[in-house]
Chain A
Amino acid sequence: MAKKVLVVDDELDVRTFISTLLETNGYRPIVAMDGKEGLEAARQEKPSLIILDIMMPKESGINMYRALMTDPELKEIPVIMLSALSKKTFFHSQKILDEYKGEKIPEPAAYIEKPPEPDELLDAIQNSLQ
């Protein structure tokens, strides 16, 4: 059975693009429009992989990522962060949040800056699912 991949992004273009990439490579995409919706979908569908945007209305990807990583049932799901935010900025924010909250959140399986190249993203997807 095709592996389920959850795509969380507020932009329709990105969702369509990644869904097509997934579908044409034998995965089953599930889409969500923000962190809140994404977290519900993750709990319900238990996907094999999550592709997560950061800057979204309502609940941001940063919060959703931390919620995933601290949830015993979800923390094993690999996450690929996909954002217009630079990699450096994201890892810096993680470090600050770790210190502030006194917890150690593991790094995502991959971090890809927007706009993603299809091959680059596909490589990351395949690597994370091995």
Chain B
Amino acid sequence: MEHKILLVDDEEGIRKVLGISLSDSGYQVLSAENGEEAFRIFIKAKPSIVLTDIKMPGMDGVELLRKIKKESPDTEVIMITGHGDMDLAIQSLKSDAADFITKPINDEALEVALKRVKEKIALKRQLKEYTEDLERLVEEKTARLIEAERLAAVGQTVAGLAHAIKNITGGLTGGAFVLEKGIELNNEKYLHQGWEMVRNNLKKIKELALDLLAYSKERAPDYRLCDPNEPAREVASLMRLRCEKEGVSLDLRLEEGLPHVWLDPEGIHRCLLNLVANAIDACTDLSCTPGEGKICLRSRRPEGWAVEYQVEDNGCGMDEDTLQKVFQEFFSTKGSQGTGLGLMITKKIIEGHGGVIEVQSRKAKGTRFVIRLPEKNGAS
């Protein structure tokens, strides 16, 4: 490969002689008579090698070297020194000059210096190619791994899904049977029981479908600057009625005047809705017969975060074992009543915001979920 070389010397004679000699050796030669001119040419022509005199009026060789190295660290610079320029020569080596040769220039010494520089350039180029190759390889492998993981997740989902649907089908079959007996025997009890079973299972399948839809649908989050209390207020008004029906109190404690936050309001709405719905379930679970159910939805601005939401209940609570598993898909504490997708979706949304979700819980005391969103949206 033909190297472009920039020759810098204030003595015209040297430029001429060296120029001819370098051209003969197959270099494309550019020349300049001082540092300023050299740097201008350098910027335009980007030679791979620069051969410069150290002592020149105006910008000297060392200064030129530093400017070139700052601009293009891969350019190799060979210094030409006169007698008694040893200090400058050492200084230039410290500034990452490739080599130096002394005046009067010996052709052989120049040739050796140039050869070494060319080898260095070739090596660097090779290394760069390897690195880029490696980066590409890593990228490819990563993409393939992510794909494999996604497929595994889908496989898991199919098994879990089949189980959930089988459960509901069982309920519907049973419900239909009881209902039929009710009609057949004109039995009020069977009619009510059967109808209740059918209705409950219809509700279950509807919830499952909605959850799955939310999980599979790659809804691009719609991030914008908005009032972080807005989704919390929406969720509170949406759940108010259900809370009253279930005899649970819902306390909304939002810090007023919070600055706007970069978030996906629909996503956050869904997260808070999931958490409040879970809290209601925890407060009304008959198997742990808690006292009067209380839920509190809070917002505040803690140090270092844009906003924090808390959903706290005094319901059933969970033990350590359960806590470990709450964010897994198809894990549900609600038996056949839950799909096991809600918290997983919630976590996915919060992580999409670059935020964190944490849970604290004590059996028979209650549970608190905390969501924190970062100051600057860390979403990728």
Residues of A participating in the B interface, judged by any CB pair closer than 8 Å: 10-11, 13-14, 16-18, 20-21, 24, 84, 114-118
Q: Are B177 and A13 in contact (CB under 8 A)?
A: no
Residues from chain B with a CB closer than 8 A to the CB of A11 are 171, 335-336
10 contacts between A and B (CB under 8 A): A13-B336, A16-B193, A17-B178, A20-B177, A24-B181, A84-B167, A114-B166, A115-B167, A115-B170, A116-B170
B171-200 CB contacts (< 8 Å) to partner A: 171, 173-175, 177-178, 181, 185, 190, 193-194, 197, 200
B50-102 CB contacts (< 8 Å) to partner A: none
Of B174, B200, B335, which one neighbours A115 at CB under 8 angstroms?
B174
B169 within 8 A of partner (CB):
yes
Residues from chain B with a CB closer than 8 A to the CB of A115 are 166-167, 169-171, 173-174
Residues from chain B with a CB closer than 8 A to the CB of A20 are 177-178, 181, 190, 193-194
Minimum CB–CB distance from B68 to chain A (whole Å) comes to 74
Cα A80 to Cα B117 in complex, Å, equals 87
Of B170, B175, B178, which one neighbours A114 at CB under 8 angstroms?
B170
Q: Which residue of chain B lies nearest to A12 when distances are taken between CB atoms in the complex?
A: B197
Which 10 A-B pairs rank lowest in CB-CB distance, beginning with the nearest? A115-B170, A17-B174, A13-B171, A20-B178, A118-B177, A24-B181, A16-B193, A115-B173, A13-B197, A114-B170
Q: Which residue of chain B lies nearest to A21 when distances are taken between CB atoms in the complex?
A: B177
Cα A18 to Cα B174 in complex, Å, equals 8
Residues from chain A with a CB closer than 8 A to the CB of B115 are none
Cα A13 to Cα B178 in complex, Å, equals 10
Of A21, A84, A118, which one neighbours B166 at CB under 8 angstroms?
A84
Residues from chain A with a CB closer than 8 A to the CB of B34 are none
Residues from chain A with a CB closer than 8 A to the CB of B185 are 24
B201 within 8 A of partner (CB):
yes
B163 within 8 A of partner (CB):
yes
Residues from chain B with a CB closer than 8 A to the CB of A13 are 170-171, 174-175, 197, 200-201, 336
Residues from chain B with a CB closer than 8 A to the CB of A117 are 173
Residues from chain B with a CB closer than 8 A to the CB of A114 are 166-167, 170
Residues from chain B with a CB closer than 8 A to the CB of A18 are 174
Minimum CB–CB distance from A123 to chain B (whole Å) comes to 15
Q: Are B170 and A14 in contact (CB under 8 A)?
A: yes
Residues from chain A with a CB closer than 8 A to the CB of B190 are 20, 24
B284-340 CB contacts (< 8 Å) to partner A: 335-336
Cα A21 to Cα B194 in complex, Å, equals 12
Of B177, B181, B335, which one neighbours A10 at CB under 8 angstroms?
B335
Residues from chain A with a CB closer than 8 A to the CB of B197 are 13, 16-17
**How many residues of chain B get a CB closer than 8 Å to chain A's CBs?**
21
Minimum CB–CB distance from B364 to chain A (whole Å) comes to 16
Most buried by B among A17, A114, A115: A17
Residues from chain B with a CB closer than 8 A to the CB of A21 are 177
Q: Are B163 and A84 in contact (CB under 8 A)?
A: yes
Cα A84 to Cα B170 in complex, Å, equals 10
Most buried by A among B173, B174, B181: B174
Cα A13 to Cα B204 in complex, Å, equals 13
Residues from chain A with a CB closer than 8 A to the CB of B200 are 13
Most buried by B among A10, A16, A18, A117: A16
Minimum CB–CB distance from B286 to chain A (whole Å) comes to 11
Minimum CB–CB distance from A52 to chain B (whole Å) comes to 16
Residues from chain A with a CB closer than 8 A to the CB of B178 are 16-17, 20
Minimum CB–CB distance from B193 to chain A (whole Å) comes to 5
Cα A11 to Cα B175 in complex, Å, equals 13
Cα A94 to Cα B170 in complex, Å, equals 25
Beyond A16-B193, A17-B175, A115-B166, list 15 extra A-B contacts (CB 8 Å). A10-B335, A11-B171, A11-B336, A13-B197, A14-B174, A16-B174, A17-B173, A17-B177, A17-B178, A20-B181, A24-B185, A84-B163, A115-B170, A115-B174, A117-B173
Cα A115 to Cα B168 in complex, Å, equals 9
Cα A19 to Cα B308 in complex, Å, equals 50
Minimum CB–CB distance from B30 to chain A (whole Å) comes to 81
Residues from chain A with a CB closer than 8 A to the CB of B174 are 13-14, 16-18, 115
Q: Which residue of chain B lies nearest to A20 when distances are taken between CB atoms in the complex?
A: B178
Cα A116 to Cα B176 in complex, Å, equals 13
Q: Which residue of chain B lies nearest to A17 when distances are taken between CB atoms in the complex?
A: B174
Minimum CB–CB distance from B167 to chain A (whole Å) comes to 7
Residues from chain A with a CB closer than 8 A to the CB of B170 are 13-14, 114-116
Residues from chain B with a CB closer than 8 A to the CB of A17 are 173-175, 177-178, 197
Cα A115 to Cα B175 in complex, Å, equals 12
Minimum CB–CB distance from A40 to chain B (whole Å) comes to 18
Minimum CB–CB distance from A97 to chain B (whole Å) comes to 24
Residues from chain B with a CB closer than 8 A to the CB of A10 are 335
